[in-house]
Chains A and B, each alone.
Chain A
Amino acid sequence: MKLTQVTRVLRSKNAGPSTTTLDLMFVDQAGYVLATTSPSLTPAHIAGLYRVPVDKVRVIHFPEALAIKVSLPRRVIAGSPGDRDVYGAQQHGPILGIEL
C-alpha cells in the first residue's frame, strides 16, 4: 500500500528556522495503524530520504488526530542564501513515494 493512498493530508512546514516537520494525517484507523507499524516510517528510513543524521530525526505518533509527525533538521537554516524553501512548505516530496 502506498502512503498516499491512506493519507488525507501530507504536508511539511518549518518548526523554527532549523527544523522541518512533516505531518501525515490518515483517512482512517486502519491506515494509521498500518503506517505506525511500517518499517518505511522509521527515523532510519526517513533520515536516508532527507540525507540527515538518524539521531536527529523524531517520529511521533499522535492517535488523537490519526496523525504521525516527523521532525528533522534543515540542511540550510530557513531563508539563508542558497535555501530552496523558506517556509519549508514543499519538503514532503521525498515521502510521497513511500510504500508502507
Chain B
Amino acid sequence: MSNAIERLRQQVVQDGNLQPLRVLCGSGALGNGIPRAALARGFQQKPHFVGCDMGSIDPGPYYLGTGKIGTSERVTRSDLEQVLLGCRSADIPLLIGTAGTAGSILHVEQVVKMVRDVAALHGLHFKLAWIHADIAASVVIEAIGEQSVRPLGHMPDLTADDVTNCRAVVGQMGVEPFQRALLEGADVVIAGRACDTAIFAAIPLMLGYPAATSLHLSKIIECSSLCCVPGGSDAILGTIEGETFVLESMNPDRIVTPMSAAAHSLYEESDPYIIHEPDGVVTLRNVRFEDIDGRRVRGSGAQWVPHTQHTIKIEGSAYEGERAILSAATADPNVIAHLSEILKAMERVVAETLAQTEVGEYRLWFRKYGIDGVVDWPHPPETPPREVFILGECVAESADTAKAVLTVVKQKMLHFGFPGRTTTAGNLAFPMTPPEMAIGPAYRFRVYHVMDVADSGALFPVFHEQI
C-alpha cells in the first residue's frame, strides 16, 4: 500500500504539470464546535487534504503551564470525529496543528488518545503520526549562551532563570516535521505547537507548488471563514492554481471580497505586509485580490524571501502561584466615589490582619468594572457609573493563603468606615456566597522569543502508530 502523500502526488502531477490543489480548512479552532453544514459541503468539493488548527497563544499561559486543553472535551471529541470520518472516507490526509490548545506533549497525548478512541468507536484504520514540540530547557539555555535567542514583540531579553522556571517550553514547528511524518507514511498527523501556516503549506510545498502562493493562502485560510463578509468559523476551501489561489467559504452566506481578503492580513499581526516563517518571510507588498463571481476571490502577488538561518518561535509558561478571586459590587454613589481609597485601605487592613497569622507571600489586584476593569485608562470616567463590579485577584504561594486574603478583604470591605459613608449596614453586594474562591494555578509567559536553530528534525520528533 502506497503512502497517502504518494497517492496525492500521482493525482495532482499530470504530464509533469501540477493540477489545481484543493485545500480544505476544516476549522481554525478545532474543539469549539465545527459548523457541520459547511464542513460537509467542504468534503463534497473533493479536497486533496484537510487541515485544522487547534490552538494559539491567545488564551494565555494557563494551558501551556498546566497541560490542560482549553476546549470542552466533549465538543473536541465530536469535532475530531467529524474531520476524521470525512478524511478517512475520502482517503485523504488530515493534518492538525497545535493540538490541545497549547501544543505541548501533554496536549498532544490527550488529542492522540481521543483520536484512538474515535477510531475504535467507528472501526477506522489508518496510519497515525504525532509530533512533539517541547524544547528542552538545556537547548534554550545553550542557545542563550550562543546569543542566538532574541525577544519577540516587547518581551525582555531571555535569561536562563526564565527558562528553568517554565513548566513547559514549546517551539513553533514549520512545514518540515509535517512533511517528515507524511513521507514516513502518515494519513493523520497530530502536531504539537506549530505555525498555523505549516498545517496548510506542508503538503503544497512538498508537492512543488509555489512557496509564496502556498504560504499566503495558508495564512488566510488558517482562520477558516474569518476572511469573509460576514466573518465566521465555517470551513473554507483554498485552491492553488499555478501562481494564484482561489478562496471560497463553504458557507454560501459568507462571501470573500477583495477587500475582506486583503484586510485579513491585519488580523493578529503587528505588520500586515509580512508573514514570518521559520525559514523565510512572505512579503505582501504586491498582493492583488480579484473578484471572481461575487463570492470567490483570486489572490496573487506574494513574494517568498528565504532566509539562510532557520529560526523558530519559542513559548514558555512559568508558574506564578495559586490564584483566588473575589466577586463584589456596589450601587452606592459614596462607595463608588471613594472606591480607590477604600481598596487602598484594604491592602493595608488585610496585611495587618494576616500579619497575626502564619500567612506567606501574596500579591493582590482589584479591577473596578465601570471604572477601570477592562482598560488601564489614562483618566477616570467623566461621569461616575451607577454600579461598579469589583473583581479581587490574589496570587499566593498556596491556595489557602490566596483565599484567606480575599476572605478578609470581603468582610473588612463590607463594613469599612470612610468619610461620608451612609451604607452603615454594608458597602457591598455579593452576587452569591461564598464570593471568594480558589481557582487554581496562575502562570506567566516568560518565553516568547525567537531562537536560531540548525536542524528542526531533532527538535520535533515524529512518532507513528498503525490504528
A contact residues vs B (CB 8 Å cutoff):
9, 13-19, 21, 23, 25, 48-51, 56, 58, 60, 62, 64-67, 69, 71, 73-75, 77-87, 90-91, 93-94
A19-B154 in contact (CB<8A): yes
Of B265, B375, B393, the residue contacting A81 (CB under 8 A) is B393
Cβ-neighbour of B373 out of A23, A65, A80, A84 (below 8 A): A84
Contact B448 A67 (CB under 8 A): no
Which of chain B's residues have a CB closer than 8 A to the CB of A81? 320-321, 323, 363, 365, 393, 395, 442, 444
A23 to B363, CA, bound (A): 34
Choose the segment among B12-20, B58-66, B243-251 that binds chain A (4+ C-beta atoms closer than 8 Å): B58-66
A71 touches B375 (CB 8 A): no
Interface status of B367 (Cβ within 8 A of chain A): yes
Query: Complex formed: what's the CA distance from A80 to B4 in Å?
Result: 43
Interface size class, chain B: 35 or more
- For A83, list chain B residues within 8 Å (CB): 60
> B414 near A: Cβ within 8 Å?
no
- B residues 222-262 near A (Cβ < 8 Å) are 259, 262
Instruction: From A50, A51, A58, A67, give the contact of B266 (CB < 8 A).
Output: A67
| B184-192, B206-214, B267-275, B452-460 - the one binding chain A | B267-275
A79 to chain B, nearest CB (A): 3
Is there an interface contact between A51 and B376, defined as CB atoms closer than 8 Å?
yes
Q: How far is the CA of A56 from the CA of B374 in the complex (A)?
A: 22
The answer to whether A84 and B62 touch across the interface, beta carbons within 8 angstroms, is: no
Q: Residues on B close to A: CB < 8 A?
A: 57-62, 152-155, 259, 262-263, 265-273, 287, 320-321, 323, 363, 365, 367, 373-378, 393, 395, 442-445, 448
> Which residues of the other chain, B, contact A21 by a CB distance below 8 angstroms?
266, 268-270
Contact, CB under 8 Å: B378 / A79: no
> A73-B153, A90-B375, A93-B374 are known contacts. Are A82 and B270 too (CB-CB below 8 A)?
no
Q: With A21-B268, A66-B259, A74-B154 in contact, is A80–B61 under 8 Å at CB?
A: yes
Is the Cβ of B269 less than 8 Å from the Cβ of A15?
Answer: yes
Q: Is the CB of B152 within 8 A of A79?
A: no
Contacts of B375 in A (CB 8 A): 84-85, 90-91, 93-94
Q: CA separation between A90 and B393, bound complex, in Å? A: 20
Chain A residue nearest to B375 (CB atoms) is: A93
Beta-carbon contact of B393 and A48 below 8 Å:
no
Residues in A neighbouring B365, C-beta threshold 8 A: 81-82
The smallest C-beta distance from A19 to any residue of chain B, in angstroms, reads 4
Partner of B61, one of A25, A67, A69, A79: A79
Residue in B60, B267, B393 whose Cβ sees the most chain A Cβ within 10 Å: B60
Contact indicator A86/B259 (Cβ below 8 Å)? no
Q: A77-B155, A80-B442 are in contact. List 15 more A-B contacts (CB 8 A).
A: A15-B270, A16-B152, A23-B267, A60-B273, A73-B154, A78-B61, A79-B60, A79-B444, A79-B445, A80-B61, A80-B445, A82-B363, A84-B373, A86-B59, A86-B60
Q: Which residues of A are found within 8 Å of B374, using beta-carbon distances? A: 84-85, 90, 93
